[in-house]
């Protein structure tokens, strides 16, 4: 909510704030740099050699690719924690990494990061389960995009991404529509329809699945 750049950095606070960061070994932590970022700022581009890993501290950062028409496709959104995890094992970035709003990231040298993974068992384990979580999330996303109708995708999203069938959107509905593989008009109409037929309860940014009477 506060897009301004922190004047001084409370490291322990920042680092304790996120699960994976909590297990970062001291050596890697000391080698990290805080980087304020502005909306639309590009952190790295597809094809560039991998030199850094990023962890989002504030704001939102996205992994983007573009189709041949130049239309953006969002591959990942992060509002906290690491992103572009797969690039650690690659030589070149396979996506653009772009800030969606003002905020800040921690920047780690890829080389030091890799060394830390092999030296610190706890960090290694945390990273591995982080990757596994990412795999599960992506599988859920693929499953959702395989569904035919707009309504089915919305419900699937609430069931798999929400807690107890409810989510508080952290993005515009337009952006949500893109994530669901729908036009924004289709999403608006679907939400309206699901609200009217009693499937959903919508209160501002909070969208919840109503328990079926059956």
Partner DNA sequence: CGTACTTTTGAATCGCATCAAATCTGGTGG
Partner DNA sequence: CCACCAGATTTGATGCGATTCAAAAGTACG
Identify the DSSP state of 89: G
Q: For residue 22, give every residue at least 6 positions away whose Cβ sits within 8 Å of its Cβ, in sequence order, or none.
A: 15, 16, 126
**Interface of this chain with its own copies, residues 123 to 182, rule: CB under 8 A:** 124-125, 127-129, 131-136, 138-139, 141-143, 145-147, 152, 178, 181
**Token pair for 111:** 């080389």
Q: Which is nearer to its own copies, 58 or 150 (CB)?
A: 150
Contact window for its own copies (CB under 8 A) among 27-35, 39-47, 50-58, 70-78: 70-78
**Is residue 73 near its own copies by the rule CB under 8 A?**
yes
Identify the DSSP state of 141: H
117 binds, among DNA, its own copies, none (CB under 5 to 8 A by kind): its own copies
78 binds, among its own copies, DNA, none (CB under 5 to 8 A by kind): none
Q: Which residues bind DNA (CB under 7 A)?
A: 148-151, 172-175, 181-186, 188-192
CA separation, residue 109 to residues 51, 66, 90, 95 (Å):
6, 26, 14, 18
Q: What are phi and psi of 201, to 5 degrees?
A: -115, 130
Give which of 12, 8, 96 is closest to 54, Cα–Cα: 96
Q: Which is nearer to DNA, 7 or 12 (CB)?
A: 7
Give which of 59, 38, 52, 57 is closest to 107, Cα–Cα: 52
**Chain positions contacting its own copies, by CB under 8 A:** 63, 65, 67, 73, 75-76, 85-86, 88-90, 94-95, 117-118, 121, 124-125, 127-129, 131-136, 138-139, 141-143, 145-147, 152, 178, 181
């Amino acid at each position: 909510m506060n897009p301004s750049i922190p004047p001084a950095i409370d490291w322990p606070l920042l680092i304790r704030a996120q699960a994976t960061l909590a297990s970062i070994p001291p050596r890697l932590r000391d080698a990290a740099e805080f980087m304020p970022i502005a909306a639309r700022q590009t952190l790295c581009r597809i094809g560039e050699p991998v030199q850094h890993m990023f962890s989002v501290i504030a704001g939102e950062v996205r992994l983007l690719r573009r189709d041949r028409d130049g239309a953006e496709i969002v591959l990942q959104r992060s509002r906290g924690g690491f992103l572009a995890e797969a690039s650690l094992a690659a030589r070149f970035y396979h996506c653009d990494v772009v800030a969606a709003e003002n905020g800040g990231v921690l920047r780690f040298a890829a080389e030091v990061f890799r060394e830390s993974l092999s030296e610190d068992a706890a960090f290694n384990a945390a990273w591995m389960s982080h990757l596994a979580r990412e795999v599960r999330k992506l599988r859920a996303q693929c499953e959702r995009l395989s569904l035919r109708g707009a309504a089915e995708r919305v419900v699937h999203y609430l069931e798999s991404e929400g807690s107890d069938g409810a989510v508080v959107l952290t993005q515009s509905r337009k952006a949500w529509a893109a994530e669901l593989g729908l036009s924004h008009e289709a999403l608006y109409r679907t939400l309206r329809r699901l609200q009217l037929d009693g499937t959903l309860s919508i209160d501002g940014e909070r969208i919840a699945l109503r328990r079926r009477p059956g």
